[in-house]
């Protein structure tokens, strides 16, 4: 069985690997589509420590090929999306049948071999059956939507609020679309590249600010009559973007932080008090139905994932796929891999 393997920083090889086996409670999934996310690119670039050699990848979809002991045989042949983290199996939550409350979940493709291969074994609790009309490439792109849903569920926009989404990578674009669907009025987005703005506009952005050309602070204040936005969502993970969130938001407004990086500047406390702000930290996809609801948003056509997909490669071209995802060359947003 073929697999793409990270053998070192910026080194991807196609290797032959043994077939996976389904332990009790697990299944083997035939991978039909995998997508590359920022974490994959960071592993490739060496910005995330990875125990090489490692088969990367955690965002994928496919079809159940075989089922281990204790798993209902009717799963075999079912088309599925797969949640990206493995419960530890040992903690009180896992032992009392609540594996998704497990606090020691481990990302597939980092702490164990991942999905950039032909077949992979996962616990049956990680599976989400996909309905008719959902294709594998769509089912492999649910993570940014699920993270975005976890965000808008907590922000509870009032109809007509002015929202700023900082950063238009996949999570930023997902939030642009989800805020447009959730009642945002003026919807201002920023990025350091022009490339994603065509998608931003298709998703409902009213104003796209290229931060290499305009000062986003001055621009947002001008667009809001000097008051600041009702809600500001930082998804970029860039220090310069994170540093201005408290300047962009209005008195009594809301701030959400999703973009994650080790070098983000800390938040001063005085403006949080002086402006009577509420700051929401978003740590992931929530794990409480957000995947299932993301599927329905795609199935119903309310979210069209196609504009986000800029590149598709076969598994044999995994090295090129990682290079594109890492460099973001050619206007790359989402890169898909088909085994």
Query: What is the binding site for its own copies (CB under 8 A)?
Result: 97, 103, 149, 152-154, 156, 158-160, 178, 181-183, 185-186, 242, 251, 257-258, 260, 262, 264-284, 293, 296-297, 300, 302
Dist CA 60 CA 34 (whole Å): 4
Cα–Cα dist 104/295, whole Å: 26
Distance CA(308)–CA(124), nearest Å, equals 29
Nearer to its own copies, 267 or 319 (CB): 267
Q: Which residues pair with 60 in a beta bridge?
A: 34, 82
| CA distances for 12 relative to 54, 84, 130, 228, 261, angstroms | 10, 21, 31, 46, 24
- Looking at beta carbons only, is 257 or 311 nearer to its own copies? 257
Q: How far apart are CA 224 and CA 51, in angstroms?
A: 48
Nearer to its own copies, 49 or 159 (CB): 159
Least CB distance from residue 13 to its own copies, whole Å? 33
Tell me the three state secondary structure of residue 8. Answer: strand
Give me the least distance between CB of 65 and its own copies, in Å please.
21
Contacting residues for 303 by C-beta, under 8 A, at least 6 apart: 145, 174, 177, 178, 181, 294, 297
Q: What is the dihedral of CA 130, 136, 137, 143, to 10 degrees?
A: 40
> Is the CB of 100 or the CB of 323 nearer to its own copies?
100
Q: How far is the CB of 125 from its own copies (least distance, A)?
A: 9
For residues 20 and 237, which CB has a smaller minimum distance to its own copies in the complex? 237
Shortest distance, position 206 Cβ to its own copies, whole Å:
8
CA 338 – CA 35 distance, rounded (Å): 9
Which residue shows structure tokens 């983290």? 85
Phi/psi for 96 (5° steps) reads -110, 35
Q: What is the CA radius of gyration of the chain?
A: 20
In the bound state with its own copies, the residue whose beta carbon lies nearer, of 77 and 265, is 265
**Which is nearer to its own copies, 13 or 103 (by Cβ)?**
103
Q: Which is nearer to its own copies, 76 or 319 (CB)?
A: 76
Q: b vs e for 295-326, b when ≥16 Cβ sit within 10 Å of the residue's Cβ?
A: bebbeeeebebebbbbbebebebbbebbbbbb
Structure tokens given for 257: 């932080």
């Amino acid at each position: 069985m073929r697999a793409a393997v990270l053998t070192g920083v910026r080194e991807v090889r196609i290797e032959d690997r043994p077939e996976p086996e389904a332990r009790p409670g697990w299944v083997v999934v035939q991978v039909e589509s995998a997508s590359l996310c920022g974490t994959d690119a960071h592993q490739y670039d060496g910005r995330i420590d990875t125990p090489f050699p490692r088969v990367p990848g955690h965002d994928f979809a496919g079809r159940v090929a075989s089922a281990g002991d204790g798993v209902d045989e009717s799963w075999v042949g079912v088309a599925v999306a797969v949640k990206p983290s493995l419960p530890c199996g040992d903690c009180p939550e896992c032992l009392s049948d609540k594996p998704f409350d497990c606090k020691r979940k481990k990302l597939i493709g980092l702490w164990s071999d991942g999905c950039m291969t032909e077949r992979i074994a996962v616990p049956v609790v990680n599976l989400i059956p996909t309905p008719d009309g959902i294709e594998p490439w769509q089912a492999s792109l649910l993570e940014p939507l699920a993270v975005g849903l976890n965000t808008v569920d907590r922000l509870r926009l009032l109809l007509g609020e002015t929202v700023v989404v900082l950063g238009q990578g996949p999570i930023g674009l997902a939030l642009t679309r989800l805020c447009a669907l959730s009642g945002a009025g003026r919807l201002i987005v920023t990025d350091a590249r022009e490339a994603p703005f065509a998608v931003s506009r298709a998703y409902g952005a009213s104003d796209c600010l290229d931060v290499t050309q305009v000062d986003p602070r001055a621009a947002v204040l001008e667009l809001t009559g000097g008051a600041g936005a009702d809600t500001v969502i930082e998804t970029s993970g860039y220090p310069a973007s994170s540093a201005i969130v408290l300047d962009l938001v209005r008195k009594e407004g809301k701030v959400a932080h999703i973009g994650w990086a080790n070098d983000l500047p800390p938040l001063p406390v005085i403006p949080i008090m002086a402006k009577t702000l509420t700051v929401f930290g978003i740590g992931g996809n929530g794990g409480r139905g957000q995947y299932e609801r993301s599927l329905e948003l795609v199935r119903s056509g309310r979210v069209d994932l196609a504009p986000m997909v800029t590149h598709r490669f076969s598994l044999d071209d995994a090295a090129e796929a990682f290079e594109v995802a890492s460099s973001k060359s050619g206007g790359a947003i989402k890169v898909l891999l088909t085994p």
